């Protein structure tokens, strides 16, 4: 590992950047170095600008990926290389506001029911039943299951915060069946050797395979189960403040934006329906 990479990693840790953000930033800087086959320390602002243009025009990267690469390179120059005056003329681009394709209850049931592998079913069921982010599912430990209070503890969630969420009796029964086949004293869903939690990419593969078997064609990865958790609770009449706490949101505006108020929209009559009695008289 180069001294520059060590220093950048130390800078990111000191500033509390999440582990996945650190990985993405390191990958972006490595891409820059590989493009020029030189250390970033030897590159100018113009070089970085040309590289960002290359990502946009040649690689056709998505809005979010381009933004993340720009943020990583700004961090490198401003913080690690101590060049606060460095500015890139290619601005961050806003990602288009797209609504997620929400899974219906039937689609979630088909995805879970189609998992013949008990471990896969337990993992996907946990993600949906507790409304977890994929990183939170991966890092669950056996000790996080509180069967007496029927709660699931989420340790070190987004922003380094702990919280409690729902533990369904059905989920608890499934987890007990799963644990009897693969008893563990530490991670709930460990890697094969048991030393580390399962990887995010492996979990995504499980989800996509289950979705294909279920014949569900809606776009999106395993995060769709978290969207479905929130939307289905809203449709069942659970108030948005409770949903926000279960999901680990600090602000109610985050929950409202996250849900896109799908449940309320589905239950709201069109103004055309208000005219139905008048139209029927014609």
Structure tokens at 244: 């926000």
Q: Please compute the mean of the pLDDT values over residues 82-110 and round it to a whole number.
A: 77
pLDDT of 55: 87
Task: Calculate the average pLDDT of the chain.
Answer: 85
Taking the C-alpha atoms of residue 251 and residue 257, their distance in angstroms, rounded to an integer, is 10
Among residues 74, 139, 226, 227, the one annotated as catalytic is 226
270 band by pLDDT with thresholds 50, 70 and 90: low
Indicate whether 14 belongs to any domain: yes
Between 261 and 227, residue with greater pLDDT: 227
Q: How far apart are the first and last CA of the chain?
A: 79
The answer to whether residues 186 and 238 belong to one domain is yes
Handedness of CA 80, 81, 83, 89 (dihedral sign): negative
Residue identified by tokens 């279920």 is: 214
Helix H or strand E encompassing 41: none
Domains in the chain, number: 2
pLDDT of 19: 83
What φ, ψ does residue 152 adopt, rounded to 5°? Answer: -115, 125
The answer to whether residues 241 and 161 belong to one domain is yes
What lies within 8 Å, CB to CB, of 70 at 6+ separation is 52, 88, 90, 92
**Residue 8 contacts residue 76 (beta carbons within 8 Å):** yes
Helix H or strand E encompassing 176: helix 169-181
Indicate whether 279 belongs to any domain: no
Here the CATH number for the domain that contains residue 50 is 1.10.150.130
pLDDT of 266: 54
Task: Give the up-direction half-sphere exposure of residue 170: CA atoms within 13 A in the CB hemisphere.
Answer: 7
User: Catalytic residue at 153?
Assistant: no
Indicate whether 100 belongs to any domain: no
Q: Tell me which of 89-103, 130-144, 190-204 is least confident.
A: 89-103
Between 238 and 1, residue with greater pLDDT: 238
Among residues 78, 153, 158, 163, the one annotated as catalytic is 158
Indicate whether 96 belongs to any domain: no
User: Catalytic residue at 211?
Assistant: no
**Maximum average pLDDT range among 80-89, 249-258, 264-273:** 80-89
The answer to whether residues 53 and 129 belong to one domain is no
The answer to whether residues 118 and 250 belong to one domain is yes
Beta strands in the chain, from DSSP E residues, in sequence order: 145-146, 151-154, 163-166
User: Catalytic residue at 158?
Assistant: yes
Q: Is the pLDDT of residue 274 over 70?
A: no
Indicate whether 223 belongs to any domain: yes
Taking the C-alpha atoms of residue 234 and residue 228, their distance in angstroms, rounded to an integer, is 10
User: Catalytic residue at 133?
Assistant: yes
**Residue 99 contacts residue 218 (beta carbons within 8 Å):** no
Taking the C-alpha atoms of residue 160 and residue 83, their distance in angstroms, rounded to an integer, is 29
The answer to whether residues 76 and 174 belong to one domain is no
271 band by pLDDT with thresholds 50, 70 and 90: low
The answer to whether residues 62 and 110 belong to one domain is no
The answer to whether residues 116 and 58 belong to one domain is no
Q: Is the pLDDT of residue 280 over 60?
A: no
The answer to whether residues 263 and 178 belong to one domain is yes
Q: Is the pLDDT of residue 145 over 90?
A: yes
Here the CATH number for the domain that contains residue 233 is 1.10.443.10
User: Catalytic residue at 258?
Assistant: yes
The answer to whether residues 68 and 9 belong to one domain is yes
Q: Tell me which of 15-24, 89-98, 108-117 is least confident.
A: 89-98
The answer to whether residues 111 and 53 belong to one domain is no
Indicate whether 148 belongs to any domain: yes
Among residues 5, 78, 205, 223, the one annotated as catalytic is 223
- Percent of the chain's residues with pLDDT above 70: 86
Q: Is the pLDDT of residue 158 over 60?
A: yes
Among residues 120, 121, 227, 249, the one annotated as catalytic is 249
Residue 127, domain extent: 105-267
The answer to whether residues 159 and 36 belong to one domain is no
The answer to whether residues 114 and 76 belong to one domain is no
Taking the C-alpha atoms of residue 197 and residue 226, their distance in angstroms, rounded to an integer, is 20
pLDDT of 64: 76
Helix H or strand E encompassing 279: helix 276-280
60 band by pLDDT with thresholds 50, 70 and 90: confident
Indicate whether 34 belongs to any domain: yes
């Amino acid at each position: 590992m180069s001294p520059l990479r060590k220093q950048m990693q130390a800078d990111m840790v000191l500033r509390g950047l999440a582990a996945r953000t650190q990985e993405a930033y390191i990958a972006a800087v490595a891409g820059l170095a590989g493009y020029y086959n030189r250390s970033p320390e030897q590159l100018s602002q113009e070089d970085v600008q040309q590289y960002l243009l290359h990502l946009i025009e040649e690689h056709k990267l998505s809005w979010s990926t381009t933004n993340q690469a720009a943020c990583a390179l700004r961090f490198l120059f401003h913080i690690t290389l101590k060049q606060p005056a460095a500015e890139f003329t290619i601005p961050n681009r806003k990602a288009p506001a797209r609504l997620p394709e929400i899974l219906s209850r039937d689609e979630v049931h088909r995805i879970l029911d189609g998992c013949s592998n008990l471990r896969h079913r337990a993992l996907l069921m946990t993600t949906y039943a507790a409304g977890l982010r994929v990183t939170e599912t991966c890092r669950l430990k056996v000790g996080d299951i509180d069967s007496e209070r029927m709660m699931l503890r989420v340790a070190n969630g987004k922003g380094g915060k702990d919280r409690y969420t729902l533990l369904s009796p059905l989920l608890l029964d499934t987890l007990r069946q799963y644990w009897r086949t693969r008893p563990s004293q530490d991670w709930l869903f460990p890697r094969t050797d048991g030393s580390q939690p399962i990887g995010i990419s492996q979990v995504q593969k499980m989800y996509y395979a289950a979705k294909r078997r279920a014949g569900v064609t809606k776009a999106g990865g395993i995060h769709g189960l978290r969207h479905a958790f929130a939307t289905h609770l809203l449709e069942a009449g659970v108030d948005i403040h409770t949903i926000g706490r279960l999901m680990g949101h600090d602000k109610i505006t985050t929950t409202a934006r996250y849900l896109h108020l799908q449940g309320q929209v589905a239950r709201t009559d069109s103004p055309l329906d208000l005219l139905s009695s008048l139209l029927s008289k014609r």
